[in-house]
């Protein structure tokens, strides 16, 4: 082995050059346990799902040892098409609202004093870490038939409105639960924009809106893209929020998967649905990674 010309990265070159033993290298011992764990509890389960998804369903024996693509063909049925269309539509609306609300929040977090930023981050991340079921429960109390909103309407002498168990409620819940996933990457992206760029633009006569459109928006685009894809991919696979706040007849994809796995035991069908969602999500995530990496390279290359 040639001696490494860049000292400082290779730890213990004397061990490296002195070892003639063919034992596995140290890094394999360090990364091995977690890698093996992930193979057994991430790769194998996903492979198992893929396998289930091409087996024929049997009401008595769950899956027959007979290969078929029917489970995927079935997704073209009106029922499943509606299900996916609904899911993607609610995900899109959620993402848009998160972007609209996330920008002001992220801009404020990025440009405010460090002390306020610390408080702001705490108040953003603390709710994010509390179980989604608890935040949804709070919204049920607020929006319910005798909830805060309807009590206030009644006090004003107005008719109560049906808020809970509607699409509006689901979107409110989803935005509430996933907004931090939009605000955080946006904040990081805006922080990287030197604030003297903003000053320069304003000295040259740009008003705030021009400055936002020409400088902040383009330079924070990687943050917007990764935030959007993050919010989109988590909200299309959301279960708790639609299950507790949505209409029980108009559901989202994750609820269908839950029912087919745990209630009707149609595991082949559930597997094909799950895999379709995974592929949609992964394709989105990887394109996001690709776009942001490229954008980062362009930025550094300048």
Partner 1 sequence: MRGRAPWLILPVVGAVYIGLLAPLAVVVGVSFGPSAAFAFPPTGFTLHWFAEFFASDAYVRSFFRVSLVVGLLAGAIATLFGTAAAVGLVRFRFAGREAIETFFLAPLLVPEILLAAALYLLYARLAVQASIWTLLCGHLVICTPYVVRSVIAGLVGMDPRLEEAAMSLGATRVQAFFKVTRPLLRSSLLSGAIFAFIISFSDINLALFLSGPQSTNLPVHIFSQIQWQGDPTIAAASTLQILIIGLLILIVQRIFRLRLLV
Number of residues that bind partner 1 (CB under 8 A): 99
Q: Is 252 left (phi over 0), alpha (psi -120 to 50) or beta?
A: beta
Q: Which of residues 117-136 bind partner 1 (CB under 8 A)?
A: 118, 120-136
Q: Pick from 3, 14, 20, 60: which binds partner 1 (CB under 8 A)?
A: 14
Identify which of residues 124 and 153 has a Cβ nearer to partner 1 in the complex.
124
Q: What is the CA radius of gyration of the chain?
A: 25
Report if residue 291 touches partner 1, rule: CB under 8 A: no
- Separation of CA 155 from chain center: 39
Identify which of residues 78 and 146 has a Cβ nearer to partner 1 in the complex.
146
Identify which of residues 37 and 69 has a Cβ nearer to partner 1 in the complex.
37
Q: Which of residues 159-178 bind partner 1 (CB under 8 A)?
A: 176
Q: Pick from 55, 83, 95, 139: which binds partner 1 (CB under 8 A)?
A: 139
Report if residue 233 touches partner 1, rule: CB under 8 A: yes
Report if residue 84 touches partner 1, rule: CB under 8 A: no
Identify which of residues 78 and 196 has a Cβ nearer to partner 1 in the complex.
196
Q: Pick from 163, 170, 174, 184: which binds partner 1 (CB under 8 A)?
A: 184
Identify which of residues 6 and 78 has a Cβ nearer to partner 1 in the complex.
6
Site string (27-66) toward partner 1, x via CB under 8 A: xxxxx-xxx-xx--xx-xxx-xx--x--------------
Stretch that binds partner 1, among 69-77, 87-95, 163-171, 185-193 (CB under 8 A): 185-193
Identify which of residues 166 and 281 has a Cβ nearer to partner 1 in the complex.
281
């Amino acid at each position: 082995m040639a001696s490494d010309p860049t000292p400082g990265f290779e730890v213990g070159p004397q061990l490296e050059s002195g070892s003639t033993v063919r034992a596995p290298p140290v890094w394999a011992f360090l990364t091995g346990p977690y890698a093996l764990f992930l193979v057994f509890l991430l790769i194998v389960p996903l492979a198992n799902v893929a396998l289930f998804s091409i087996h024929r369903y049997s009401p008595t024996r769950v899956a027959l040892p007979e290969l078929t693509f029917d489970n995927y063909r079935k997704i073209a049925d009106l029922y499943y098409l509606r299900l996916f269309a609904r899911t993607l539509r609610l995900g899109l609306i959620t993402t848009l609202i998160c972007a609209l609300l996330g920008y002001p929040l992220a801009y404020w977090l990025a440009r405010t004093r460090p002390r306020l930023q610390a408080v702001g981050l705490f108040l953003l991340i603390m709710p994010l870490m509390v179980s989604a079921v608890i935040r949804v429960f709070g919204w049920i109390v607020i929006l319910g038939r005798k909830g805060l909103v309807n009590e206030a309407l009644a006090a004003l002498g107005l008719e109560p409105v049906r808020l809970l168990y509607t699409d509006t409620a689901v979107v409110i819940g989803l935005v509430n639960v996933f907004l931090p996933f939009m605000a955080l990457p946006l904040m990081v992206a805006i922080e990287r924009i030197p604030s003297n760029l903003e000053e320069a633009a304003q000295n040259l006569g740009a008003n705030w809106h021009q400055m936002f459109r020409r400088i902040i928006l383009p330079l924070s685009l990687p943050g917007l893209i990764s935030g959007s894809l993050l919010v989109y991919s988590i909200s299309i696979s959301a279960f708790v929020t639609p299950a507790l706040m949505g209409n029980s007849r108009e559901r989202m994809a994750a609820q269908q998967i839950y029912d087919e796995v745990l209630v009707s035991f149609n595991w082949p069908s559930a597997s094909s649905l799950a895999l379709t969602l995974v592929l949609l999500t992964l394709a989105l995530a990887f394109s996001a990674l690709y776009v942001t990496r490229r954008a980062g390279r362009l930025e550094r290359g300048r």
